[in-house]
Structure 1
Amino acid sequence: MKDAKVFFHSNLKLLRIRRKISQEQQAKLLGFTRSKLTAFETGQTGNPALCDVIKIAEHFRISVDDLLKSDLSTWNESDLRKLETGNVEYVSGKKLRLLAVTINPDNKQNLEYVPVKAKAGYLAGHTDPSFIASLPKFSLPELPDATLRMFPIVGDSMLPIPSGSKVICRYIEDWRKIKPQTACILILNGAQDFVFKFVTVQGNSLSLESLNPEYKPYTVEIFDVLEIWQFHSYQSTQMPEPYGEITQVQVLINEIRNDVKYLKGKV
């Protein structure tokens, strides 16, 4: 009987290149050394461990069967997109994965905090229950009964919310239900930081806008998004700036822009 053709090595390289990240970045996301990933991509490792194959398949959100037995280089762009997004099931977020959470003695979900020093590890460990269990946990009054997590933000793209604020967010399962201009924390594949933006769903992509008008809007593809957390509230040790005339004008401009976008969506 003729041996079955295996496309694991070429498929792994193709999937990484499609996400436009380096071997070093990809190895870090998978928890491998760069030399190990290189051996996989070049075929030097003829029989990779099953646990590694499963980890790679889950990371790229494809079946082990497709990873091993399908020659993805022969697929057209449309079919590759469907594979990477898992069709409507993945676009909605419902079949993305099971979210790792922790429970307190009262059988309620904890509010986990991802400190700045844990940001890099969150990309690799956000699906790992043991990593989530290692995060600091808090209990605050008057929080909704939902899956919540607290993230630190850095930078001035969402001013007047100051850099260093701790943003509390609710986990979003069905991304299609996000209303236009909803403030969210996004965890992006390959990103070096969390992204805090106003999100608008546009088909299979998301439009991201900053509160600070100095930053231009941009879009990301759904398959590049690992998690979306909707803004609930934030904590800060900084006092807000005085509410001057310039601030009032900016607020009015933002309100007008949002109204125009809403009306356009109704046409």
Structure 2
Amino acid sequence: MDKQPLFWAANLKLLRTRKKISQQHLSDLLGLNRNKITAQESGKTRNPRMDDLVLISSFFKIDIDLLVKTDLSQIPETQLEELEAGKHVDLSGRHIRILPITVDHSNEENMEYVPARARAGYRSGFSDPEFIAGLPKFTLPDLPRGKTIRMFPISGDSMAPIPDGSHIIAQYLQDWSHLKNNTACVLILKGGEEEIVFKVVGNHIKQNGTLALHSLNSNYETAIINIEEVLEIWTFIGYISKEMPVGAESIKQKA
């Protein structure tokens, strides 16, 4: 397993300089030896004491997990200002999301289909139990059991050779930090013209709180979005289409 980069040293220096205070002033405020601050900022102290982590985290009002694992220099200025103000900013995608579900007469979770007519209202209704209960239900063989699965219509050619008008079957992802890099996903977005998008997603949440949205069609450029723009993530299982794949050869009748 690749070792995750740690950003404690760089983040400590960044936050101190943003407050416009010297190492000596910070050491006085925290009651720590200045040499300890210098060693931590330079990276010479590879494993800071837990007491120091807690003390510095409390002083800057930022969670230890973020201070250690997230490069704060790469997140948007507005989010960094919110963090410094003591506000909770979710950069990991692990915030609690309540997902309404429905069950059948056997108490098995239903699989819902979001038809084109309901697509425009999904962004406002995705957390409404009545809206979800009103969606059509479907079933298909060989799909994962005990998982939350929905089917979404897509439009356009950005994911060609998957045809325009296909229906994407996808599984709900609760903890976005577990999203494997370059996974095909359906994303429900807060704003913009498109409410539901289907892309190959590069996961940069831990590094800088963003996702990279890649298209299979090389004519489309990669888009970078902030994780705060995302409402839901659904990982690709398969798709249904009435069209033959692009490039399929015609079957000739035997003489």
- Aligned 8 A contact 2:82 2:88 in 1: no
2:203 matched to which residue of 1?
201
1:141 CA drift (Å): 1.1
**For 2:148 and 2:242, how far apart are their aligned partners in 1?**
25
1:81 CA drift (Å): 5.8
Aligned with 1:151: secondary structure? strand
Query: Which amino acid in 1 is paired with 2:223?
Result: Y
Q: Would you tell me which structure has more helix in proportion to its own residues?
A: 1
1:106 CA drift (Å): 1.4
Query: Which amino acid in 2 is paired with 1:229?
Result: W
Query: Which amino acid in 2 is paired with 1:170?
Result: Q
- Aligned 8 A contact 2:112 2:136 in 1: yes
Identity of aligned residues (%): 46
Query: Which amino acid in 2 is paired with 1:215?
Result: Y
Aligned with 1:121: secondary structure? helix
Aligned with 1:93: secondary structure? coil
Aligned with 2:177: secondary structure? helix
Q: Does 2:180 correspond to 1:179?
A: yes
Specify whether residues 240 and 154 from structure 1 end up closer, same or farther in structure 2 by C-alpha distance, changes over 3 A only.
same
**For 1:212 and 1:100, how far apart are their aligned partners in 2?**
34
1:110 matched to which residue of 2?
110
Aligned with 1:176: secondary structure? helix
1:223 corresponds, among 228, 232, 240, to 228
1:94 CA drift (Å): 3.5
CA-to-aligned-CA distance 1:33-58 (integer Å, 9 cap, x gap): xxxxxxxxxxxxxxxxxxxxxxxxxx
Structure 1 alignment gaps of length 5 or more: 1-74, 245-267
In the TM superposition, what are the counterparts of 1:1-267 in structure 2 within 5 Å? 77-80=79-82, 86-87=88-89, 90-145=90-145, 146-193=147-194, 194-202=196-204, 203=207, 204-242=209-247
Query: Which amino acid in 1 is paired with 2:227?
Result: I
CA-to-aligned-CA distance 1:154-176 (integer Å, 9 cap, x gap): 00000000010010000111111
Structure 2 alignment gaps of length 5 or more: 1-76, 250-255
**For 1:209 and 1:195, how far apart are their aligned partners in 2?**
11
Max Rg structure: 2
Query: Which amino acid in 1 is paired with 2:121?
Result: G
Normalising by structure 1, what TM-score?
0.58
**For 1:82 and 1:235, how far apart are their aligned partners in 2?**
47
Query: Which amino acid in 1 is paired with 2:244?
Result: M
1:108 CA drift (Å): 1.3
Query: Which amino acid in 1 is paired with 2:229?
Result: D
**For 2:83 and 2:124, how far apart are their aligned partners in 1?**
23
**For 2:167 and 2:244, how far apart are their aligned partners in 1?**
14
Specify whether residues 148 and 218 from structure 1 end up closer, same or farther in structure 2 by C-alpha distance, changes over 3 A only.
same
Runs of 4+ in 1 over 6 A off after TM superposition: 82-85
CA RMSD, 1 decimal:
2.3
Aligned with 2:121: secondary structure? helix
State how many pairs are aligned: 168
1:232 CA drift (Å): 0.3
Aligned with 2:216: secondary structure? coil
1:191 CA drift (Å): 3.1
Specify whether residues 104 and 93 from structure 1 end up closer, same or farther in structure 2 by C-alpha distance, changes over 3 A only.
farther
Aligned with 1:99: secondary structure? coil
CA-to-aligned-CA distance 1:110-165 (integer Å, 9 cap, x gap): 11011111112111111000000000001111110211010000000000000100
**For 2:151 and 2:118, how far apart are their aligned partners in 1?**
12
- Aligned 8 A contact 1:85 1:223 in 2: no
Normalising by structure 2, what TM-score?
0.61
**For 2:85 and 2:157, how far apart are their aligned partners in 1?**
36
